């Protein structure tokens, strides 16, 4: 699968632009949540976690895609060092990608708990960022731990070793596993959770409670905005990763015996990697608190008094702090 000179230039420009957008956007998002206490919540913590994963995609996977386009996928590091780098890269890149996707899953679970069972004692411990963040990375590494085992470094190429299970079972098993773990199973978990949460927020009301107090109304509006924002982000994820997953299925069906045009493969994975650049800017645009903090930061304005007052109020009681953690 070799690119023409014009295609190499196109891939280089697309990835260079995407790298800049991803690095700037994710760095902004991490900085905002780190410096602005008023925007912190479990959802924002999950977005920081996802921003770190997306930043690693921009710093490692995207540059290697550019190098691969210029070197025809051949690695320049020979021997044992090349083998170690090959396996390490496969584990790091795959674990980073699955970490970003798991953040979407845990955010869906968080929204479901916040809307459907907000007062449940059993959901409080689960919705703490200090617990969820390391859990996501441990799960990511565990789910992708098999990948370095089935890859090898041979004649300058980092590729799947067909001798592990035999050519057909190995190729098909690897790409079906990737398709299920990184796409179908996450969406199968996320979609029903958001559907249930949306039904509760838009269609369910307590019997006889037609006059909702102002505070309850604001709470409902806020939760609707958060769910709407996260649904948009999941839809963008599903669209961006669809071409790459179609390529995975094609490779699984043909056991890698048929080649796709090189430019189709590169563009398919570029769209998937571009999701790492889109995520932070979507969150900044769709989250009111994050957007206000971003506008203040880029215009060098001080924190809004109302937001400072709101932040101080959240520390008055443990119950209030727990409720605030469920909001964005």
Show the 3-state SS of the chain. CCCCHHHHHHHHHHHHHHHHHHHHHHHHHHHHHHHCHHHCCHHHHHHHHHHHHHHHHHHHHHHHHHHHHHHCCCCCCCHHHHHHHHHHHHHHHHHHHHHHHHHHHHHHHHHHHHHHCCCCHHHHCCCCHHHHHHHHHHHHHHHHCCHHHHEEEECCEEEECCCCCCHHHHHHHHHHHHHHHHHHHHHHHHHHHHHHHHHHHHCCCCCCCCCCCHHHHHHHHHHHHHHHHHHHHHHHHHHHHHHHHHHHHHHHHHCCCCCCCHHHHHHHHHHHHHHHHHHHHHHHHHCHHHHHHHHHHHHCCCCCHHHHHHHHHCCCCHHHHHHHHCCC
d(CA 294, CA 36): 10
Q: At which residue do the structure tokens 């189709």 appear?
A: 264
Q: What pLDDT is stored for residue 327 in this prediction?
A: 41
Q: What pLDDT is stored for residue 309 in this prediction?
A: 46
Tens digit of each residue's pLDDT, the chain (328 residues): 678 889 999 999 999 999 999 999 999 999 888 887 777 776 778 888 889 999 999 998 899 889 888 887 777 777 788 888 888 888 888 899 899 899 889 888 888 887 777 655 555 566 677 788 888 999 999 999 988 888 888 877 788 877 776 666 777 888 899 999 999 999 999 999 888 888 877 776 544 445 455 666 766 677 777 788 888 989 999 999 999 999 999 988 887 777 788 899 999 999 999 999 999 999 888 888 888 888 887 786 554 444 444 444 444 443 443 334 334 4
Q: What pLDDT is stored for residue 314 in this prediction?
A: 43
Q: What pLDDT is stored for residue 122 in this prediction?
A: 55
Question: C-alpha distances in angstroms, 206 versus 24, 201, 212, 225?
Answer: 45, 11, 10, 20
pTM: 0.80
Q: What pLDDT is stored for residue 229 in this prediction?
A: 82
Q: What pLDDT is stored for residue 183 in this prediction?
A: 93
Q: What pLDDT is stored for residue 320 in this prediction?
A: 41
């Amino acid at each position: 699968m070799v690119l023409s000179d014009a295609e190499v230039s196109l891939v280089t420009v697309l990835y260079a632009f995407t790298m800049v957008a991803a690095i700037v956007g994710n760095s902004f998002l991490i900085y905002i949540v780190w410096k602005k206490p008023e925007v912190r919540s479990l959802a924002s913590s999950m977005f920081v976690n996802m921003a770190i994963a997306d930043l690693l995609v921009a710093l490692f996977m995207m540059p290697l895609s550019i190098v691969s386009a210029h070197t025809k996928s051949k690695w320049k590091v020979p021997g044992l060092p090349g083998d170690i780098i090959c396996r390490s890269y496969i584990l790091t890149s795959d674990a980073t990608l699955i970490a970003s996707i798991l953040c979407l899953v845990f955010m869906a679970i968080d929204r479901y708990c916040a809307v459907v069972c907000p007062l449940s004692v059993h959901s409080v411990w689960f919705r703490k960022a200090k617990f969820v963040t390391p859990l996501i990375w441990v799960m990511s590494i565990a789910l992708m731990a098999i990948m370095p085992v089935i890859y090898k470094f041979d004649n300058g190429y980092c590729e799947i070793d067909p001798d592990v299970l035999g050519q057909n079972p190995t190729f098909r098993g690897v790409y079906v596993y990737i398709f299920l773990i990184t796409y179908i199973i996450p969406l199968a978990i996320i979609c029903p959770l958001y559907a249930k949460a949306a039904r509760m927020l838009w269609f369910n009301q307590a019997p006889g409670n037609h006059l909702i107090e102002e505070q309850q109304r604001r709470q409902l509006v806020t939760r609707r905005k958060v769910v709407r924002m996260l649904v948009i982000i999941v839809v963008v994820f599903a669209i961006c990763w669809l071409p790459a997953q179609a390529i995975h299925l094609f490779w699984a069906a043909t056991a890698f015996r048929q080649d796709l045009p090189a430019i189709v493969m590169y563009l398919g994975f570029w769209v998937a990697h571009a999701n790492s650049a889109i995520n932070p800017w979507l969150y900044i645009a769709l989250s009111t608190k994050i957007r206000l903090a971003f506008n203040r930061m880029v215009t060098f304005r001080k924190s809004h008094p109302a937001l400072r007052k709101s932040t101080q109020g959240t520390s008055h009681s443990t119950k209030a702090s727990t409720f605030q953690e469920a909001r964005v």
